[in-house]
Amino acid sequence: MKLLRIGAKGQERPALLDGEGRLRDLSAHIPDVTGATIGPESLARLRALDPASLPVIEGEHRVGACVGNVGKLICTGLNYADHAAESNMPLPTEPLLFMKATSAICGPYDDVTRPPGAEKLDWEVELAIVIGSRAKHVREADALKHVAGYCVINDVSERTYQLDRGGQWMKGKSYDNFAPIGPWLVTTDEITQPNELDMWLKVDDVVRQNGNTRTMVFSVAKVVSYISQFMTLEPGDVIATGTPPGVGMGIKPEPVYLKDGQVMRAGIQGLGEQCQRVLPSQV
């Protein structure tokens, strides 16, 4: 299934994308797409519905983040060997973890506003894992049983904040709208091989990233299992799994960073495409 959330920020309602690309209203069946409604039993009930029996949502609507009320937004850094190389950073021997503030989460087509003083605004297309059932000390062999589905995330990053002001990644990655998620939460019955997905990102129609999740250093199952050893993963938590090469920071001979007015388009095979315009600082 492809689940999404439609409506103004803070007023989103749940929807399903049917096989013909039409939006179907799920409001009569679940109040929202959140950790409370994406557990195995709830998803099984939704799968049993006939999409044709659901009301069609007509017209143009804002698409919100594909999962609401996210408790934790956990990121895996340097999880592609060639991205680590372009960043001039050593390849981690264990998954490198950091957090983004959940207040950075926004819809897949919402604008990204430049933070005040930002000089090195960068892009990172990533596969995101959405947890469907509580995971604590899970084995790698069992890890995918705890996943509800997957989506696209753009790990927007301000490298000046991240690297030049004390080396704290979280403050370079947590500004408002630095985590566009969606458009769809695609359930695991449709994405059976999460480590076999093509992914790409363009800036003003110039391809900057072109990779595949098969080149991850640590697989999706490994990442979920590993994180669950250090914290309990709850339904609705989101994990960003790292980015392939091609970020602005790594472009040779000189880095290339986002300018006001530029447009990022990012997509992953089977998970849809998102798009954001960069706006100047509002401060």
Instruction: Kindly state the percentage of the chain with pLDDT values over 90.
Output: 90
Cα–Cα dist 201/274, whole Å: 9
Q: Report all structural domains of the chain as residue ranges with CATH numbers, in order of start.
A: 2-53 (no CATH), 73-279 (3.90.850.10)
* 3-class secondary structure per residue, 199-216: EEEEECCEEEEEEEHHHE
CA distances (Å), 131 to each of 25, 174, 224, in order? 23, 21, 9
The pLDDT, as a whole number, for residue 91 is 84
The pLDDT, as a whole number, for residue 166 is 79
DSSP, res 270: T
The pLDDT, as a whole number, for residue 273 is 98
Q: Is the Cβ–Cβ distance between 248 and 258 less than 8 Å?
A: yes
Among 48, 82, 53, 97, residue whose Cα is nearest residue 237: 97
Q: Which amino acid is at 32?
A: D
The pLDDT, as a whole number, for residue 283 is 85
Give how far the C-alpha of residue 162 lies from the chain's centroid of Cα atoms, to the nearest Å: 19
The pLDDT, as a whole number, for residue 90 is 82
Among 67, 64, 12, 10, residue whose Cα is nearest residue 42: 67
- Burial status of residue 42 (CB atoms within 10 A of its CB: 0-12, 13-18, 19 or more): middle
Q: Is the Cβ–Cβ distance between 278 and 262 less than 8 Å?
A: yes
Cα–Cα dist 15/277, whole Å: 25
The pLDDT, as a whole number, for residue 87 is 77
Two tokens, residue 88: 């001039």
41-93 residue pLDDT tens: 999 999 999 999 999 999 999 999 999 999 999 999 989 987 878 877 788 89
Q: What residues does 209 pair with on adjacent strands? A: 201
Which residues, including other chains, have CB under 8 Å from residue 225's CB and lie 6 or more apart? 138, 139, 140, 142, 143
Q: Reduced to 3 states, what is the DSSP secondary structure of residue 66?
A: coil
Please identify every stretch of the chain with a pLDDT value under 50, giving residue numbers as ranges. none
